[in-house]
Amino acid sequence: RTPPLGSGLSAVLDSVLEQARPTDGGEVAGYIPELADEDPEQLGIALASVRGAVHEAGDSDAEFTIQSVSKPFVFALALEQSGLAAITRHVGLEPSGEPFNAISLEERTGRPLNPMINAGAIVCSSLIRGDDAAAKSGVIEAGLSAFAGRTLDVDEAVLASEAATGDRNRALAHLARAAGTLASTAAVATDAYFRQCSVNVTARDLAVMAATLAAGGVNPVTRERVVSEDVARWTTAVMTSCGMYDASGEWLVRVGLPAKSGVGGGIAALQPEQFGIGTFSPRLDARGNSVRGIAMLEELSERHGLHMLEHR
Ligand code: GLN
């Protein structure tokens, strides 16, 4: 096994990327029609250290929609705004072991089980301050941009496609509203949620966003404090237990890095106090996680002993 990540990082990233390239399993997300048009061969990876150095390989500058990788970051913005006690009255912290779009609310409290599945993420979007969806979206986009260290924009075609086909998400919002855990009307919550999922990012952006959590809430490139240390730790904890949906347990065994995936093909992963990694490859497995993103992160973790429980 090679020693922990250090010098020669760009060569390391090139090597894991080329090793993953021939992997051709999985399918581009089809249930949001606009996503089905993505070039499935795209493949990129970037790593940002907590000191602000960024290394990249492949299509690390290709834009794609953030989708569910937005969830931990919007959860963090909600926590920063209202604190853990207030937010957990609306959304739980337990892994669901269920698919991302599960119809899932805790029976006793009416809360979605966690903020990494759609039901919980929609509740988080509703909790962001602002009287209407436009105001909430303004806060969310500014927050995601602060995590990334550049102004992010929205893919309007994906947004329209998602809004046109988002009935299941609307149903989740109505259920949460009926259970008393949604903080806005269902329409305001889903409008804000659809827009947050349609924000364009690159693998490099995801690396810097994850590195901001790894650095305890300070963006290591811009040096801006985005969230508090407590919020960064709470968010990272929920990524660890719930970030890969119903594959979270297996991910924790095989890769051992807090991570979050999205159906746009992105994954953000991090090692606290060390680095953030962003990967991009559009073909997804049955659970909605990027096949080659998983392959690259598994290989990196294995080769360099990055598992958080590695004996050091
Ligand atoms: N926008 C997608 C949805 O709500 C996000 C899902 C995902 O990335 N897993 O279905």
Q: Percent of the chain having pLDDT more than 70?
A: 98
Active site residue 71: yes
- pLDDT surpasses 70 at 2: no
Ligand 1 centre distance from Cα of residue 246 (Å): 14
Domain boundary among 197, 226, 246: 197
The arrangement of strands across the sheet holding 259-261 comes to 54-58, 44-49, 275-280, 266-271, 259-261
Residue type for position 193: Y
Q: Percent of the chain having pLDDT more than 90?
A: 92
97 and 217 share a domain? no
Please report the pLDDT score of residue 171 as a whole number.
97
Ligand 1 centre distance from Cα of residue 101 (Å): 8
Residue type for position 213: L
Arithmetic mean of pLDDT over the chain? 96
79 and 190 share a domain? yes
Mean pLDDT of 22-47: 94
145 and 93 share a domain? yes
Q: Which pLDDT band holds residue 8 (cuts at 50, 70, 90)?
A: confident
Structural domain includes residue 87: yes
pLDDT tens string 132-159: 999 999 999 999 999 999 999 999 999 9
Ligand 1 atom at minimal distance to the Cα of residue 197: 1
208 and 91 share a domain? no
Structural domain includes residue 166: yes
- pLDDT surpasses 70 at 202: yes
Q: What is the secondary structure of the chain as a DSSP string?
A: -PPSS-S-HHHHHHHHHHHHTT---SEE--SSGGGGGS-TT--EEEEEETTS-EEEEESTT--EE-GGGHHHHHHHHHHHHH-HHHHTTTS--S---S-TT-----TTT---S-TTSHHHHHHHHHHSS-SSHHHHHHHHHHHHHHHHTS---B-HHHHHHHHHT-HHHHHHHHHHHHHT--SS-HHHHHHHHHHHHTBEE-HHHHHHHHHHHHTTSB-TTT--B-S-HHHHHHHHHHHHHHTTGGGHHHHHHHT-S-EEE-TTSEEEEEETTTEEEEEE--EE-TTS-BHHHHHHHHHHHHHHT--TT---
Structural domain includes residue 74: yes
Domain that holds residue 38: 9-66+200-304
Annotated binding residues for substrate, written as ranges, equal 68, 118, 162, 169, 193, 245, 263
Please report the pLDDT score of residue 4 as a whole number.
60
Ligand 1 atom at minimal distance to the Cα of residue 288: 9
- pLDDT surpasses 90 at 92: yes
- Phi then psi dihedrals of residue 201, to 5 deg: -140, 170
More confident residue, 294 or 31: 294
173 and 125 share a domain? yes
220 and 141 share a domain? no
The domain spanning residue 253 has which CATH number?
3.40.710.10
Structural domain includes residue 33: yes
Q: Which pLDDT band holds residue 107 (cuts at 50, 70, 90)?
A: confident
Domain boundary among 155, 179, 197: 197
34 and 82 share a domain? no
- pLDDT surpasses 70 at 1: no
Structural domain includes residue 169: yes
Ligand 1 centre distance from Cα of residue 51 (Å): 32
177 and 283 share a domain? no
Q: Which residue has the tokens 């080769």?
A: 303
62 and 72 share a domain? no
Domain boundary among 182, 197, 212: 197
Ligand 1 atom at minimal distance to the Cα of residue 194: 1
74 and 193 share a domain? yes
188 and 292 share a domain? no
Distances (CA, A) of 25 to 21, 116, 232: 11, 25, 34
Mean pLDDT of 33-56: 95
Please report the pLDDT score of residue 49 as a whole number.
97
- pLDDT surpasses 90 at 169: yes
Please report the pLDDT score of residue 226 as a whole number.
98
Please report the pLDDT score of residue 111 as a whole number.
97
What's the total number of domains in the chain? 2
pLDDT tens string 230-267: 999 999 999 999 999 899 999 999 999 999 999 999 99
Structural domain includes residue 309: no
Of the candidates 169, 157, 3, 1, which has an alpha carbon nearest to the alpha carbon of residue 71? Answer: 169
Residue type for position 181: T
Q: Which pLDDT band holds residue 6 (cuts at 50, 70, 90)?
A: low
Ligand 1 pocket by Cβ (under 6 Å):
67-68, 100-101, 118, 162, 169, 197, 262-263, 288
Structural domain includes residue 3: no
What CA–CA distance (Å, rounded) separates 308 from 86?
29
- pLDDT surpasses 70 at 223: yes
Structural domain includes residue 2: no
Mean pLDDT of 58-85: 98
The answer to whether the CB of 281 falls within 8 A of the CB of 293 is yes
Ligand 1 centre distance from Cα of residue 256 (Å): 23
31 and 123 share a domain? no
